[in-house]
Structure 1
């Protein structure tokens, strides 16, 4: 134990934090049991959230980074991992959806009361001007705030100051964005659009082929851009941002369960983006199987926002909030999405505690804090206007064969690039492009 403590200290890590991490795991296990006594599905939501948070933090994986990282560093390791994640999840979801459809299930958009729904088709959203505007606003906001929805939750658990500021404003913007989407949908302009589930038009085989072709195009664009940055001399090595303690140990001793080398390998060494992508795909499918719905984040933010604003005396009489109020009245801890988001925060916290690296980071100026708040607010409004964020409106839409996901991807990417260009050097988390 003394050698273990010494090794932690030599790397600048806290040797006491893993103990706290283990205690927290035990508390979460008890919480899962308690939640299961009120609603049988809630422990699965909590487990999925903890796993997502742990994987996101351990692999330093982020959906916003798919745009930001390649723009700033010129290398597309995260972007390519995201493409892989989309492909793997799509193939896994394919079997589930085909089986459901073969047994008489129908898409959520045409299902009548009592009919079985093809899991994941709840993310086949109607695509209109709100989807495009919301995606663009969200793209700008995630650059100012330093992360997307899942990334903000993970960073919050890691003690990152930008997320601690951005998250409350993200939640605050959710209800107004939700209302705006309703207003637009009810207008004549909002009724112009489409709602396309690819298997309905080209079958499951055709849907897979189209999705793979589009992912192949994204991969080709990423490679071409990397080559361009290499020629310009502005390409960074994919692993050049690894902390020293995250890297594999040199001259590691033979495998021993009680050695620091073994602990470092299991709990401190950084996972690759590819590892993160594959594990996140597996957990996403776990969510699809256990909940019959795809992974989402920001719907729960709307529930939380309405809950808090009601406590402050606000009323919500618009028909836009009927389903939200049902969840609020049932109680926050009965909402699976809220439980999963809480689990994600704790999963990220556990990852840092087990590694002995947790600490609060508020190394930024006051004006940066204002940008973080504005970014969070924009993400809240944009995500609910688009009926989802990088997860619900993009990842879970594309992998469940919704054409809306591709439209959101384009809008979000354009917004992200505009945000990076417009605020380069003006906020601490967006450096000048070299």
Structure 2
């Protein structure tokens, strides 16, 4: 996210870094690794090896997101605003790889540590349509998606803390209204491509065909609209590139797909992010005297989460790992910088965008990770519906950005 007067850059880390690489921030790196070790000890000793392994996978997610500068928000914006489809083609590579990894795991039905494996397959309905649309609007105002919010917080993006605050608040509102959207609004049952096409083998063939068609469509759009190229990204040379500078986008896509497969294999469910925001916010609301336990969202299997420690929650532990992994990576890369001045319009956009994303993610059965990435990789039709509606939301979001002093890519720009 960028203010027109440029007093502060609040876009995702990858969109604000240019030029040569600065020196590592040794002090920040020491804090990051120290916090990482302490939290790791608490998770392993208090909640077992499985939970500890998932925490470490979260740390690796944070490192990969930072080094790949992996953008969901920017990819959607670039495609809608100027027809630059390179970012979305990287998404398609990630989805194709994740689908190929998920298919045999889901077919087997079991993973490590005795985990029963289950994909993110969710119902189709008005809640997904509206929720994904709101998320698309929100991520263009908030300056980051769910994963981008966490790794940007870890990288020192002060304004993104406001997006996270709004995210938590919106998630609580979505949990409060959960019963209305899931029980009173019209909808269809979950649809798995594996059930439609006779198993995960057939579903994988169909899914790869869909992914290929989408990638081809972005090439056609780019040739017609002749968009600016992607901005150059700094990088170290040789082996130093692993810990400093940018990874190739294709490498980031493959690493994220592999880590999501590892999450499914170890945890029994694919990667998710925003359910933890609803948990954190609901726990805070309960501490203030709100009877969140009476909400439909916190009935059934989720009820125990309100009483259990936060570190017992898989998604929370992985979210903490993402922040600390990104913090360590940003410190070693020399890009960890806290901002002290945040323009009022940026504050408003961050909070509004966060609330829209939090609310949208809850009622749409997930965010850009839980619904889009993990949903599509799980062969759930709701993942594709989510992606389409988020693109529509992006269309509105990029038209609202100038009201908050935020830039939008233009055909005449030198780069996106």
Mark yes or no: TM-score above 0.5: yes
- Picking from 33, 36, 57, the partner of 1:28 is 36
Q: 1:405 & 1:274 partners in 2: Cα distance?
A: 21
Larger Rg: 1
Give 5+ residue unaligned stretches, structure 2: 1-18, 412-416
Assess, with a 3 A threshold, how the Cα gap between structure 1 residues 225 and 363 changes in structure 2: closer, same or farther: farther
Equivalent residue number for residue 206 of structure 2? 210
Distance 2:75 2:251 in 1: 15
- How many pairs were matched up? 387
Any conservation in 1 of the 2:78–2:85 contact (CA below 8 Å)?
yes
CA spacing shift, 1:200–1:71, aligned 2, 3 Å: closer
- The CA deviation at 1:164 is 1.2
TM-score (norm 1): 0.84
Q: For residues 66 and 171 of structure 1, do their structure 2 counterparts lie closer, same or farther at Cα, with a shift above 3 Å needed?
A: same
Q: CA deviation at 1:71?
A: 3.4
Corresponding position of 1:42:
51
Is it true that 1:120 corresponds to 2:118 in the alignment?
yes
1:278 to 254, 271, 278: 254
Counterpart among 195, 202, 211 of residue 200 in structure 1: 195
Match of 1:47, SS? helix
> CA-atom RMSD, angstroms?
2.3
> Contact (CA 8 Å) 2:174, 2:363: kept in 1 or not?
yes
Give the Å deviation of 1:404: 0.9
Q: Structure 1 residues 340-349 or 30-39, which shifts more?
A: 30-39
Superposed, 1:212-291 pairs within 5 Å as 212-230=208-226, 235-238=227-230, 240-242=231-233, 246-248=234-236, 263=240, 265-291=241-267
Residue in 1 that maps onto 2:327: 349
| 1:408 to partner: Cα distance | 1.0
Which stretches in structure 1 are left out of the alignment for 5+ residues? 1-9, 104-114, 250-260
Is 72-81 or 335-344 further displaced after alignment? 72-81
Q: Measure, in 2, the Cα distance between the counterparts of 1:296 and 1:145.
A: 19
CA 1:139 to 1:11, structure 2 compared with 1: closer, same or farther past 3 Å? Answer: closer
Q: Partner of 1:39: helix, strand, or coil?
A: helix
Q: Is the 8 A contact 2:141 2:401 kept in 1?
A: no
Return the TM-score normalized by structure 2.
0.87
Distance 1:333 1:424 in 2: 37
Work out whether residues 178 and 320 of structure 1, in 8 Å CA contact, stay in contact via their aligned partners in 2: yes
Matches for 1:13-412 after TM superposition, within 5 Å: 13-15=22-24, 17-18=25-26, 20-22=28-30, 24-40=32-48, 41-72=50-81, 74-100=83-109, 117=116, 119-121=117-119, 123-187=120-184, 189-190=185-186, 192-203=187-198, 204-230=200-226, 235-238=227-230, 240-242=231-233, 246-248=234-236, 263=240, 265-316=241-292, 317-322=294-299, 323-361=301-339, 364-412=342-390
Q: Aligned-pair distance for 1:364?
A: 4.5
Q: Alpha-carbon deviation of 1:388?
A: 0.4
Alpha-carbon shift at residue 407 of structure 1 (Å) = 1.0
